[in-house]
Structure 1
């Protein structure tokens, strides 16, 4: 695996998309930046992190054995890998806030962004972006943010955490390649934030409603039990969990 360590870049995901296309990359590539000037989150949001104190990196990997309809399993696998590493570091109450945020209690400690590379109508590769709060302890205009250091009081070497994450990612990639999708999905659902508890959501038209998270569909939609025992599925553009 090739690892490119950079001081400053706009976005590790954007950078990887450019170089993987220019180089027609066939091997795994990791791009790790100490600072991102335009870090990206889900749905066009930004990811802000203090320079040199957190892990911001992206991984390029060929995934020809996974179809477009199965790509959400990669996001579930990545979420579980981060959860596993945080648990090993003694972070308590780690949960996945659908679809791609990692929380400890009610505070966000990590965000994940996966982008697909489609060629000739088929899934050719995926770019996984991770923003993990490691040693930062203060934030401006970012409510409910936390870090590994904030939770443990321990200052960690970023490279050590990166190595742990990459090792765990490989474990889940092996599960994906073996077709163990149901195992991944069950584990992901077991760690969903607010699962089986009443929660308030806001729809795209601004209306609020209460639902109970029951799981996710194979394509990544959130399955909610609502009034009158009606079960509905929603994608990311349709609802937002309020907490």
Structure 2
């Protein structure tokens, strides 16, 4: 394991990808900073982060050998590892908002961005990025955002949180994901935000629909029972949960 700590960077994922283009990196190489200036989430959404109050982490996981048609196993493993770590830190009411936002109650405290490197029909490598709101207390453009400090009421040592996350991710990502498929699905569904609850959604054309979240498919599609009593599958660009 190699840990590269940066004073500041635009994006830890981008920095790690650029390093990987320059030379071969060892498994579990980590790039981290407390000042990420151009962080992004799913669909290139901007990640709001105040310098030196939060964490941005990207890690390279090699030799995954997860089939491409089961790529969501990687996302589930990462999400559950982070949930486990934060639970040990005393963060209450944790859940995963599909596909991989980390919530405490209804407040978003973390987000995951995974970029896979595929060879043939297998995922060979993943660059796994994670942003965690730790000590920030004001969010100007993120109405659902919160932080560990706002939720628990005290400052956290950023290094302590970082090493706790790294330890848990290292432990979980070295498990044989493909053989743990049922266990991962059961755990992910047990932590899934609004699963089994009647919810409102917005489609890309601004149409509003309602339904009940059933779960996710093996390739990460959201399954929702709509008012026609049929289960429909949606990709990330297809639907937005309103809450």
Paired residue for 1:74?
Answer: 74
TM-score, normalisation: structure 1: 0.95
Q: Report 1:39-188 matches (<5 A).
A: 39-119=39-119, 122-177=122-177, 179-188=179-188
Paired residue for 2:238?
Answer: 238
Contact 1:30–1:59, Cα closer than 8 Å, also in 2: yes
More deviation in 20-29 or 72-81?
20-29
Q: 1:9 to 1:232 in 2, by over 3 A?
A: same
Contact 2:199–2:211, Cα closer than 8 Å, also in 1: yes
Contact 2:71–2:218, Cα closer than 8 Å, also in 1: no
- C-alpha displacement at 1:170, in angstroms? 2.1
Moved over 6 A (4+): none
Structure 1 Cα separation of the partners of residues 19 and 6 of structure 2:
14
- C-alpha displacement at 1:126, in angstroms? 0.2
* 5+ long unaligned stretches in structure 1: none
Residue 221 (structure 1) aligned with residue 218 (structure 2): no
Contact 1:65–1:177, Cα closer than 8 Å, also in 2: no
Structure 1 Cα separation of the partners of residues 81 and 128 of structure 2:
12
Contact 1:72–1:220, Cα closer than 8 Å, also in 2: yes
More deviation in 188-197 or 85-94?
85-94
SS where residue 47 of structure 2 aligns?
coil
Deviations 1:63-102 (A, max 9, x none): 3421222221111111111111121122111111000111
Paired residue for 1:22?
Answer: 22
TM-score, normalisation: structure 2: 0.95
Instruction: Quote the RMSD (CA, aligned, Å).
Output: 1.4
Structure 2 Cα separation of the partners of residues 41 and 48 of structure 1:
10
Q: 1:29 to 1:97 in 2, by over 3 A?
A: same
- C-alpha displacement at 1:120, in angstroms? 5.3
Deviations 1:204-234 (A, max 9, x none): 2211100100110000000111113211111
* 5+ long unaligned stretches in structure 2: none
